[in-house]
């Protein structure tokens, strides 16, 4: 009977083994979660890399399109002006002779222009800006000349690049048909744009070693491409996979393998606003993902190492379950303390130790963000630069401890006047304070500056070296608004600084607006 009881007891589960089973299950679950979390993080960083590249490409494409559109729009206006002059005077010899110095002047003022030409109905050179003219010069065989002769359209035509017969330079022809008084074809007016100038413009943009920028005609003909190759000028790529998207939208994005060099790229295209051209910005997928791949490889190696450690240490971890739990609690507490300390250090790194305000480094970063947002939405941004009047004399008379207390109280007074949620106030250095006010024009900034100045006056801090007998501040104001062309933080601060010096020259304890 005892033997039977022993057999029944052996069939019952051992309660002591349950923690080991639970620990084993926990280790397996931990490994799965670790791998899943790192896969998710890798995917998120992959997505972030593409998102950043997309944003960069769109911004580059918009900038390139606008700059090139400005060049060709200027040429368009010049041709229309010269065409009006010719057609009004019916292309008489006198009119042609008087037009030549005007054309030369235009060439001297526009570095992107290679030359200006007027051709007769037979293609002969009637007037031009070249130093010399080849014998029997005739351009009736040029593609643009033939198109104008066969089409009654008087719109400006941009053609694929050709090599100049007079200088040998590569040029982009921009031409317009000239009609006589009866509406018959009378010739062609031509402006040639330097390919090397457009290339220099494109070279200013950073697209990486494997990137490409191209300018194309509406039919897909390549006008110019960077990296530059002569054989790419005027090249038409058959069955270009990008053209379907280009012909169906003003702007877009795609991931394609280049039919020119076989490189996989993220391609952003955008049509020029006022000309029948489009630009493409193509960033190499390999370069876009290079940092992500490096990080992912390190992350994968770390995950594999951790998994191996978990596997080899499983037996030990199970035996030391209670100790491990205690250690985990201690580690979590230490981690929270480190996080709190890091947060405190981050806060201290942005604050001025004397006044508790933002320091200059933190202000510069926030100023850049506010100005960028104001540019994007066309809203004004104002900068106020304050200086404590005669502060050196104050220090000399009352001592540096009193000077420090003075700065703290002035900072508190300025904070009372500049306290909207979006306003930023900082100590700029020494006795200078600076504020940036989003959505505020010059008049609004003037009012805020005067309010801040009055707050400092209300402190009534004695200052024997000041004319007023109390501590005062002077303020310079500068404002960026929609009409100002791409202001920078440095330019605005410089304007505010000049206005501050004007305030000092006018007697101090006042607010002066730049340009006012």
Distance from C-alpha of 246 to C-alpha of 269, rounded to nearest angstrom: 7
Q: Which of 461, 459, 456 minimizes the C-alpha distance to 398?
A: 461
Alpha-helix residue ranges (DSSP H) falling in 428-488:
442-459
Q: CB-based burial of residue 496 (10 Å sphere; 0-12 exposed, 13-18 middle, 19+ buried)?
A: buried
User: Residue 405 catalytic?
Assistant: no
Q: Which of 431, 432, 454, 455 is catalytic?
A: 431
CB atoms < 10 A from the CB of 333, how many? Answer: 10
Under a CB-based contact definition with an 8 Å cutoff, are residues 356 and 411 in contact? yes
Distance from C-alpha of 91 to C-alpha of 179, rounded to nearest angstrom: 10
Q: CB-based burial of residue 58 (10 Å sphere; 0-12 exposed, 13-18 middle, 19+ buried)?
A: middle
In what side-by-side order are the strands of the sheet with 235-236? 235-236, 221-226, 212-217, 277-284, 264-271, 251-257
Residue 476, CA distances (Å) to 368, 498, 509 in order: 19, 7, 11
Q: CB-based burial of residue 102 (10 Å sphere; 0-12 exposed, 13-18 middle, 19+ buried)?
A: middle
480: alpha, beta or left? (left if phi > 0; alpha if psi -120 to 50):
beta
Distance from C-alpha of 64 to C-alpha of 251, rounded to nearest angstrom: 13
- 153 — phi, psi (to 5°)? -65, 135
Distance from C-alpha of 381 to C-alpha of 492, rounded to nearest angstrom: 9
Q: Which of 421, 416, 455, 426 minimizes the C-alpha distance to 438?
A: 421
Cα-Cα-Cα-Cα torsion 388, 390, 392, 396, nearest 10 degrees, comes to -120
Distance from C-alpha of 142 to C-alpha of 205, rounded to nearest angstrom: 33
Under a CB-based contact definition with an 8 Å cutoff, are residues 91 and 83 in contact? no
Under a CB-based contact definition with an 8 Å cutoff, are residues 513 and 445 in contact? yes
Looking at residue 315, what DSSP letter applies?
H
Q: How far apart are the first and last CA of the chain?
A: 111
Q: Give, in degrees to the nearest 5, the angle at Cα 363 between 359 and 368.
A: 160
Please list the active-site residues.
Answer: 431
């Amino acid at each position: 009977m005892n033997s039977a009881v022993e057999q029944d007891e052996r069939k019952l589960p051992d309660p002591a083994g349950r923690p080991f089973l639970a620990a084993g299950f926990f280790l397996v679950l931990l490994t799965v979660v670790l791998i899943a979390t790192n896969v998710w993080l890798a995917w998120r960083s992959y997505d972030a890399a593409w998102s950043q590249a997309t944003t960069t490409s769109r911004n580059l494409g918009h900038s390139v399109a606008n700059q090139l559109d400005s060049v060709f729009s200027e040429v368009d206006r010049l041709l229309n002006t010269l065409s009006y002059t010719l057609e009004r005077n019916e292309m008489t010899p006198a009119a042609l002779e008087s037009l030549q110095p005007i054309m030369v002047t235009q060439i001297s003022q526009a570095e992107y222009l290679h030359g200006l030409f007027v051709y007769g109905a037979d293609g002969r050179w009637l007037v031009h800006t070249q130093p010399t003219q080849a014998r029997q010069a005739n351009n009736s065989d040029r593609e643009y000349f033939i198109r104008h002769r066969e089409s009654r359209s008087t719109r400006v035509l941009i053609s694929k690049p050709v090599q100049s017969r007079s200088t040998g330079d590569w040029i982009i022809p921009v031409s317009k048909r000239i009609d006589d008084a009866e509406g018959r074809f009378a010739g062609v007016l031509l402006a040639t744009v330097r390919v090397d100038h457009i290339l220099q413009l494109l070279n200013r943009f950073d697209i990486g070693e494997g990137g490409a920028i191209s300018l194309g005609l509406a039919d897909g003909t390549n006008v110019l491409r960077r990296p530059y190759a002569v054989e790419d000028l005027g090249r038409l790529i058959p069955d270009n996979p990008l053209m379907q998207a280009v012909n169906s939208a003003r702007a877009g994005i795609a991931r394609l393998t280049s039919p020119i060099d076989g490189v996989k790229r993220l391609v952003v295209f955008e049509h020029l606003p006022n000309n029948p051209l489009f630009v493409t910005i193509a960033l190499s997928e390999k370069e876009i993902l290079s940092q992500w791949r490096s990080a992912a490889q390190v992350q994968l190696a770390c995950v594999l190492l951790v998994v191996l450690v978990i596997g080899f240490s499983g037996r030990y971890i199970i035996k030391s379950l209670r100790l491990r739990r205690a250690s985990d609690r201690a580690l979590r507490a230490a981690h929270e303390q480190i996080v709190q300390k890091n947060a405190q250090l981050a806060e201290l790194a942005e604050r001025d130790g004397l006044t508790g305000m933002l320091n200059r480094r933190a202000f510069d970063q926030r100023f850049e963000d506010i100005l960028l947002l104001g540019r994007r939405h066309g809203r004004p941004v104002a900068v106020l630069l304050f200086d404590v009047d005669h502060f050196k004399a104050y220090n000399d008379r009352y001592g540096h401890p009193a000077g420090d207390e003075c700065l703290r109280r002035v900072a508190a007074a300025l904070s009372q006047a500049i306290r909207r949620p979006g306003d930023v106030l900082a100590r700029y250095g020494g006795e200078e304070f600076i504020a940036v006010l989003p959505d505020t024009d010059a008049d609004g900034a003037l009012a805020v500056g005067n309010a801040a100045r009055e707050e400092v006056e209300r402190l009534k801090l004695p200052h024997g070296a000041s004319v007023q007998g109390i501590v005062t501040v002077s303020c310079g104001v500068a404002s960026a608004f929609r009409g100002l062309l791409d202001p920078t933080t440095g330019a605005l601060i410089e304007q505010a600084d000049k206005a501050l010096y004007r305030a000092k020259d006018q007697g101090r304890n006042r607010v002066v607006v730049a340009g006012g």
